[in-house]
Structures are given as C-alpha cells and as structure tokens.
Amino acid sequence: MYDETPRPKRSQRRKPSASNRRAPRDISRLDPATASDETIRQTNRRRVRAGKVINPAATRRRRRRLAVTIAVIVALVLVGVAVAGVFYVRSIGNKINAVSNSDPELAKLLQDGQAAPPGDPFYMVLMGSDARPGETSARSDSLMVARIDPKNKKIQMISIPRDSRVNIPGYGIQKINAAAAWGGPTLVIKTIKELTGLPISHFVNLNFNGFRDVVDAIGGVWIDVPQDIYDTQASAYGKAYATVKKGYQKLDGRHALTFVRTRHTLVDGDFGRMRNQQAFIKALASQALSLSNMFKASSIINAIASNLDTDLTPTQMADLVLQFKGMKSSEIDSANAPGGAKYMDGIAWVVLDQVKFDAMLGRMKKGEPLDPTKTTTTSGAATATSTVKPADFKTTVRNGAGVSGLGKQCSGFLVKQGFKVSETSNMTQYVYGRTLIVYQKGFEAQANFTRETLGFGDVIPAAGMYAFDTQVMVVIGKDWTDPAAQSARR
C-alpha cells in the first residue's frame, strides 16, 4: 500500500527527538556499567559519526581480537621462515662439496684439532685455487692459516707464499703450492700442521668462479688499488679484464680476481700479491658482513656453495656469519710469513725465516698482534696507541661524498676532540663509497687514532697516490655518519 505520509524536509530527516537528545557532557559521563544496552547503542552510533567510541569493553574486545590476529600472523610467518630455512640450508648443503665426508684421513686430521670448546678460538686453512668445482688436484694459488675468534669478533691471518720451501710429507722438500695438486686439502693440512704446529680443525677451498661470484653477489667491492695493473697471466677471463687502474674504486668479480692474482707487475712479486690479497679480504669481509649486504645473504651463500670445498656444514657457516656480522676491517689482523726470495739450483724459492715465523705463530696463539712493530690494542676494535695525542699531528679533511656540509661537520668534530685541522676542502671526484683515513709514511698510529676517534673508516697508506701536506687525511665517503651523534648514543 502506498504510504502517503509527506516526506520530511532535508533539515528534519536526521534531527534527533528531544527524548533521545543528550548534551555532549552527558554523553561523556555515561557509565557503561549502569546504562541500558539501548542507550549505549544509541550513544555509540552518535559517537561513531563523530569519530569516537566510548564503550571501553567493546574497545578492549576489539583490541584483544586484533592482538590475537597479529600474534597468529606472526607465528605463521615465523614458522614459514623456519621451515623455509631448513629446506634452504639443506639445498645449500647439497651444493657444497664436503670433501671431509668422503676422505676419512682428512676427517681424522681435522678432528685432531678440535680440542677447543665451542665459541673459543680455532684454526683453519684458507685456500684459493683455479680448480673447477669438485676438483682438488689444482695447485693452490693462495694459502693462509687463520685463527678465528668468534667470541671477540677477531680474525688473524698469516699468508704463506706459494713458493715457500717446505717439507711436504711423502714428497720431501718442495714448493708448498704443490701439496694441493698432489694430495688435495688432506696433504695441504698435513703440511701446514707440520710447518706451524697449529691444531687445524677446519678448511675452506674456494675456486676462482666462487670468488668472482661472491664479489658480484654483494655488488662489487670498494678497494684502494696501489698501482696500475696490466697482467694477462693474472686475468682468468681474458685480456678484457687484465687491466685494473690505480685508485680507490669498486671492482667487479673478474677485475677483483686480476687484482688478487697479479704478481708479475709488482716489484716484490708474491709478497706484494699477498698484501693485495689481505687488503682485499679485509674489504670483502667488512662489506659482505655490513647490514645492507646481510639482506643479500642468500645470494652470497649461493655464490659460494657450488664453488666451495670445505668440512664446515651450512649451519656452522651460517653461525659464523651471524657471529661476525658488523665486523670492521680493522678487526682483521694479517701478515705475511717472514722470509725472502732465493735462487737455489736454478729454482726460485721463498725461504722462510723459521725463527721469526715461530715467534709470529706464538703471538697468534695468544691473540696478540702478528707484527710486533705495529702498536695495536688487543681488543681488535681499534689500532691506536695511548701515547698518540691529537694535537701532535696535522689533519686534512676532504669531502669525497659530494654531500654539502660534511667536510665542515667532520672538521668541527675533530677540532672539538683536540685535532689540528689544517685544511677542509673537496676531492676532485665524489666517487668514494667508504670513508678513508690516509696516512703519510711513519704516521700509521696517528691514522689509527683518528679512526678510533671517528669510530669508522678504512686506514690506508698514501703510497704516492694521495697528495696532501699534513700527516693524516680524512676522505669522507658515502658511508659517513656524524660521529658526534654516534658519541651521544653511546
């Protein structure tokens, strides 16, 4: 039936009746415990239109439901991540060539060195070779023995020249790099244990492809190349990658391999190459373990996995990565095994100075600096001495990041700490990804002191590549963080 009731005017359509009308003050004083359900419903409808709800019980119920929902979602995500992690670790484990599993002699050699409790320092052998994945017959292109201290986030490495004249068990006096070709990791570890007396418990052998892929996985590595390089023998990927220009730059995997392999272009040959390798490993470790690259962990692990021979399980490797997350390059102490080149019977050897070598190994066992001529702290967090005073040397500050005001910020901070800043200017190019602390010959301790004061930065020698009139120069990179703000947070 048609309703003939006149339609109310627009102004009257939502006008509340006098019986239902309440002043705002009355509404705010409603007691949910005593008010009728209908009154609460009517009041809440009004408050909803005003953007408010006054029923605390209803609000608490909604919040509890939301909290439960969030908790369930978080739990599901965590379970999903954990399950995915298990399958991911398994898949990585299938790619790694776990040599020790198929070589009982190698497994026994490593077990003999596993006397230290979990978390305590342990020793391992690091090898680099040009073998294809799964092959262990190629000569080692680089060889290091390392002390890993997870508790203190400290790593010490001694590079052993590939031409070192040593006794290889079963083969007599030979060049040490032949051990890998004749007996793989087993013979290398036997030789290293006899040479050093260290209880080796782990080893890692990464081939060239793995090295290249790791560098590319983190987007390249920033490194200061001390001189121009053109070495076709060092390039594993042809003439196109045989040239590396000097200066601070980001190297991709192929050029990085040329940098760490070259020796024919260096005045001191293999010793210079070992210095390049140590510098690159420091830069690689520091950048790979940075917060930004931790998000690329899966890519990095995948790059390593199929090109790696090791006894470490994927879980052990993941634990080490987490333990050393955020490690700075200054926390890696490296040195070359002491010795010198010598021709004997027409063969070029490196003859180790056994007395000095034994002394270096003794310092390594104690966690002391490998080179006693460098005055460093034992914490691994800084390398400055308490005798250095900021007013005793002059500092240059140059902006290499291209962000206005950073040079003034840096200079102001250093002056407040008592430094003598003689110059504040810009670099000719704004290509510096990382902050550098460059020192003139004889002023490394002062540079380390500057680094400790700032709280970050890579300490490098000028080596004729940087022109400045003071003893130390700070080159501000794109990683710059206001040290005054950092100090305030400590």
Amino acid code (one letter) for 182: W
Nearest to 364 by CA among 110, 156, 139: 156
CATH 3.40.630.190 fits 99-366, yes or no: yes
Q: Classify strands 436-439 and 472-476 as parallel, antiparallel or unpaired.
A: antiparallel
Nearest to 158 by CA among 359, 459, 444, 439: 359
How distant is the alpha carbon of residue 92 from its chain centre?
A: 20
Burial class (CB in 10 A: 0-12, 13-18, 19+), 102: exposed
Nearest to 180 by CA among 126, 233, 232: 126
Which part of the chain has CATH 3.30.70.2390? Answer: 390-489
**CA gap 75, 406 in Å, rounded:** 44
**CA gap 324, 294 in Å, rounded:** 11
Least confident window among 74-83, 136-145, 163-172? 74-83
Residue 39, CA distances (Å) to 12, 45, 61 in order: 22, 10, 20
Predicted local confidence at residue 252, as pLDDT: 93
Q: Which residue shows structure tokens 């001390």?
A: 226
Highest mean pLDDT, choosing among 16-30, 95-109, 312-326: 312-326
What is the pLDDT averaged over residues 340-364? 89
**CA gap 37, 129 in Å, rounded:** 81
- Which tokens sit at 382? 């800084």
Q: Do 470 and 286 touch, CB atoms closer than 8 A?
A: no
- Vertex 32, ends 30 and 33: CA angle to 5°? 120
Cross-strand partners of 125: 145, 203
Predicted local confidence at residue 306, as pLDDT: 67
Q: Do 237 and 261 touch, CB atoms closer than 8 A?
A: no
Amino acid code (one letter) for 413: F
Predicted local confidence at residue 22, as pLDDT: 47
Least confident window among 44-53, 187-196, 401-410, 438-447? 44-53
- Other C-beta atoms closer than 10 Å to the C-beta of 397 total 28
Question: Which tens digit of pLDDT belongs to each residue from 33-87?
Answer: 455 555 656 665 655 555 544 555 555 555 555 555 555 544 444 444 333 443 4
Amino acid code (one letter) for 40: I
Least confident window among 65-74, 266-275, 460-469, 474-483? 65-74
pLDDT-above-70 percentage for the chain: 66
Which part of the chain has CATH 3.40.630.190? Answer: 99-366
What is the pLDDT averaged over residues 384-398? 79
**CA gap 349, 174 in Å, rounded:** 9
**Element of type H or E holding 335:** strand 332-336
pLDDT tier for residue 265 given thresholds of 50, 70 and 90: confident
CB-based contacts of 429, cutoff 8 Å, min separation 6? 400
Q: Which residue shows structure tokens 């005001």?
A: 405
Q: Which CATH number fits domain 390-489: 3.10.580.10, 3.40.50.720, 3.40.640.10, 3.30.70.2390?
A: 3.30.70.2390
pTM above 0.75, yes or no: no
pLDDT-above-90 percentage for the chain: 25
Q: Do 46 and 21 touch, CB atoms closer than 8 A?
A: no
